[in-house]
Amino acid sequence: MATLKDVAKLANVDVSTVSRALNNTSYVHPETKKKIYKAVEQLSYKPNLLAKGLRQGKRHSIGVVMPSINLSIFGEVVQGIEIQARKQGYSIMICNTKDNPIVEQECLNRLRNGLVDGILIASTGQNARLLRDIKTSGISVVQIVRKQDKLFSSVVSDYYSCAYEAVKFLYQKGCRNIGFVNGALDIIPYQDRYKGYRKAIRECGCQELVTESRISKENFYKDGYDGVLQLLEHNPNIDSIMTAVDVQGIGVIRALKDKNIPVPNKVKVISLTGHSIGGMLETTMTSMEVPSKEMGEKAAKMIIDEIESNSPNGPALQHVVLEASLVERETT
């Protein structure tokens, strides 16, 4: 395994120069840096050894691991993280996993071997052992949006209540055939939403009409479009559709329009994870609004407090649950 001395020898510089270049602790001529970085690459010098030394001091950087930041609450969560981090003198590094556990693993390994003091993650739940190892190595870890492991602090929303309250709301509107286009049930929030939906449906004496997304990790819009068509095929009397996220709701609205089914007169639509885009559509969408920016700000503050804690064990674990609020718009 290559060492700093090996890098210094190949780059024909002193070990102290290599250390200064990699740590950015003082000026090193750009050409010299280029030689050092080339030597690091040639020797496959392991960054985790570097990171161990770097973490003796603070890098004031946070890794943010998200499944997506495109037209979802994750983008708004990241905004909240960045706002709070900047206030406290930290920068962020964003990794987009598409909910692929292999990609997530690669992202986590890059971050642990890089220049971050902590990691905020909306995890797939498939890399628990790696995350615990990262935590043990001295890098703070806080879960956001998804609480997959009780051993890490978390900031989430009450997804169970979102679904439960949405069903009750639709029932009060006179709906009796309430369909649900959900996400993949191997992800915690989708499990919680289904549990809330099922509980309320049973209390209302209605039939479960659910389609579980099979491609939600790739195309939420197509999930919504195809999902409502599947539900209508099995129950043409559906009078309302709940979707796990707004982009699914957009797909639902488009599919209903293509089938000449008017919204909301024939079928009402509600999203369980409100995003700002819902209020900008031609037919604005009713949603359970999740305080996504607040969630991001809270998680950023929690992880920075953990990073800067003087206690050997860090702050006590916190599991924060933020409530969503119903915003009625044109689709209901």
Q: How many CB atoms lie within 10 A of CB 319?
A: 12
Rounded to the nearest 5°, which phi and psi values hold at 309?
Answer: -65, 140
Query: Can you give the pLDDT of all 332 residues of the chain as single tens digits?
Result: 678 888 888 999 988 888 888 766 567 887 888 888 888 888 887 654 444 444 455 678 999 999 988 777 899 999 999 999 999 999 999 999 988 999 999 999 989 877 789 999 999 999 999 999 888 888 999 999 999 999 999 999 999 999 999 999 999 999 999 999 998 888 899 999 999 999 999 999 999 999 876 544 558 889 999 999 999 998 999 999 999 999 999 999 999 999 999 999 999 999 998 877 777 778 899 999 999 999 999 999 999 999 988 776 677 899 999 999 999 999 99
Token look-up 């539900």 returns 231
Q: How far is 122 from 260, CA to CA, in rounded Å?
A: 38
Apex CA 190: angle with CA 154 and CA 251, to 5°?
Answer: 125
Query: Per-residue pLDDT tens for 169-193?
Result: 999 999 999 999 998 888 899 999 9
| DSSP 3-state of 23 | helix
Q: Which pLDDT score, from 0 to 100, does residue 55 have? A: 47
For the beta sheet containing 268-274, the strands, ordered from the edge strand earlier in sequence to the opposite edge, are 209-212, 178-182, 240-243, 268-274, 286-289, 325-327
Q: Which pLDDT score, from 0 to 100, does residue 26 have? A: 66
Domains present along the chain, CATH in parentheses: 4-45 (no CATH), 61-157+292-323 (3.40.50.2300), 159-289 (3.40.50.2300)
129's enclosing H/E stretch is helix 128-136
Q: Which pLDDT score, from 0 to 100, does residue 24 have? A: 60
Apex CA 277: angle with CA 154 and CA 252, to 5°?
Answer: 95
Query: Could you tell me the pTM of the whole model?
Result: 0.79
Q: How many CB atoms lie within 10 A of CB 252?
A: 31
Q: Which pLDDT score, from 0 to 100, does residue 326 have? A: 95
Q: Which pLDDT score, from 0 to 100, does residue 312 have? A: 67
Residue-by-residue DSSP string for 26-94: S---HHHHHHHHHHHHHHT--HHHHHHHHTTS---EEEEEES--SSSHHHHHHHHHHHHHHHTT-EEEE
Q: Which pLDDT score, from 0 to 100, does residue 21 have? A: 80
Rounded to the nearest 5°, which phi and psi values hold at 63?
Answer: -85, 135
Apex CA 189: angle with CA 91 and CA 322, to 5°?
Answer: 60
Q: Which pLDDT score, from 0 to 100, does residue 217 have? A: 53
CA 247 to mean position of chain CA atoms: 15
